[in-house]
Amino acid sequence: MTQTECVPYAEIQKPTTLQEEIQKLTTLQWGILKCLDEKESYGMEMIEKISNLTDCEVWKGPGTFYPSLKRLREKEYIISIKEHTGGKQRKMHKITHKGRMALSCFYKYMGVDSPMPP
């Protein structure tokens, strides 16, 4: 079995590194990955989308959101690219192949198409 191979949760005898990592992700981090799987996005766009989808029940504000983004970057689930637009510097966030693999494993484990309503 390779490090990124996803197996049914009941069959896991010794979790792989990826499986151990994805079990530690928060609901907010899954929501971020879901948003970025749909399209590249800026932080405020994701905050608004997640807030609207969950009635703010998933997170408490930017003080929770941005550290979650940082953790996802550190784990290489997303990348953030600085852009200069109209004199402002913003970060565009994109999901990586590893992030998509984690999301795919999550979907299989949960037996759902999506962790949040469309």
d(CA 41, CA 44): 8
pLDDT of residue 106: 81
d(CA 93, CA 79): 6
pTM of the predicted model as reported, rounded to 2 decimal places: 0.74
- Parallel/antiparallel/unpaired status of strands 78-85 and 41-42: unpaired
pLDDT in tens, 38-81: 999 999 889 888 887 776 666 667 788 899 999 999 999 999 99
- For each of the domains in the chain, give its residue range(s) and CATH number, in order of start: 9-110 (1.10.10.10)
Higher pLDDT: 107 or 15? It is 107
Q: Is the dihedral of CA 32, 37, 38, 40 positive or negative?
A: positive
Average pLDDT over residues 79-97: 91
